[in-house]
Structure 1
């Protein structure tokens, strides 16, 4: 029995070291917001717009609408259960079938809504069926470091505006790829933990 417990502890330590080694510093910075209740650690250029709290039943959705222009960061943490986040500019009722951006981790969920997504943006909060009820808190931040240009979409946009849009689109594509890679990483990690626990017990 003692050998089994020490093997479990060793396996968990190895997994933790692996997670910390593979988790990019950018993700660590975003995820550290979940541990921070006082606002410290949030970049100075981020302005807190709203704090939304709520409950959601298993397999149900709660919907919000984002009208604010500019680059918005949605930072949601599950206080109880597991709530997931889906965002779309095509529908005001996004789900795990119809979304543009998503974060479906077992803890804190972060979605960066780029400034060029057409407003209003639909936000869907899904209560994962693994828990009877999920309780969440979502902080909505406006990133002032990315200025909003109300004329950027105009018909007479200059060549510089086109270059800015191309650069912004490339950055957003990188963020989308990053979120997808992060989601796959956590799925694999949780699967490995389940396998280790099944072997030991």
Structure 2
């Protein structure tokens, strides 16, 4: 009985240590990617220290960029205002020392500029970027914050729209109260 308990504790400790240390090199690169995401491209490249490499994204919809530094440290900058984003001009960024992930919203103006920066701490960086399309997000351009529920009931308003309506309501109510008070006094 004591031997089985100690074996169970040992297995538990080993599994905790493995999850703490993170996935091994042998693990699948797409682990944790939802089945609804479609792999569009795999881009591999090298970038020198302090330099940029630029890509252009033309796909519509919500796009997820998964970049992994194979050697060195490559960072990711994204913009829908310039085709050459940098650490000075970007809208989205991911600058970790390992996996970098950026979610490009469907409402970004296309083409979207993608800048890959080779961090100066390494002479050269090697990266692999997987570009996924999230097909779970509706592509109707007329949705603008309104989405039908899964059970077919009426669309629900976004929190921003509800907040705006509440603000208008209170503005009108306060205005009416001021008029009534001016008439009475």
CA deviation string 1:22-81 (max 9, x = no partner): xxxxxx9xx99x9523x4532110000000000000000000000000000000000000
Aligned residues between the structures: 134
**What is the match of residue 72 of structure 1?**
63
**What is the match of residue 132 of structure 1?**
123
Structure 1 residues 155-194: aligned runs within 5 Å: 157=142, 161-164=143-146, 167=158
- Pick one of 43, 46, 63 that aligns with 2:54: 63
Distance 2:113 2:160 in 1: 20
- Pick one of 94, 113, 121 that aligns with 1:103: 94
> Is residue 117 from structure 1 mapped to residue 116 from structure 2 by the alignment?
no
**What is the match of residue 87 of structure 1?**
78
Distance 1:64 1:147 in 2: 25
CA deviation string 1:110-154 (max 9, x = no partner): 0000000000000000000000000000000000111212xx2xx
Please report the TM-score for the alignment, with normalisation by the length of structure 2: 0.64
Check 1:120–1:35 CA distance in 2 against 1; reply closer, same or farther (3 A cut).
farther
Larger radius of gyration: 2
**What is the match of residue 191 of structure 1?**
none
Structure with the higher fraction of residues in helix conformation: 1
Distance 2:160 2:88 in 1: 23
Distance 1:168 1:134 in 2: 42
Q: CA RMSD in A?
A: 3.0
CA deviation string 1:160-191 (max 9, x = no partner): x3433984999xxxxxxxxxxxxxxxxxxxxx
Please report the TM-score for the alignment, with normalisation by the length of structure 1: 0.60
> Secondary structure of the equivalent of 1:50?
strand
Distance 1:98 1:61 in 2: 13
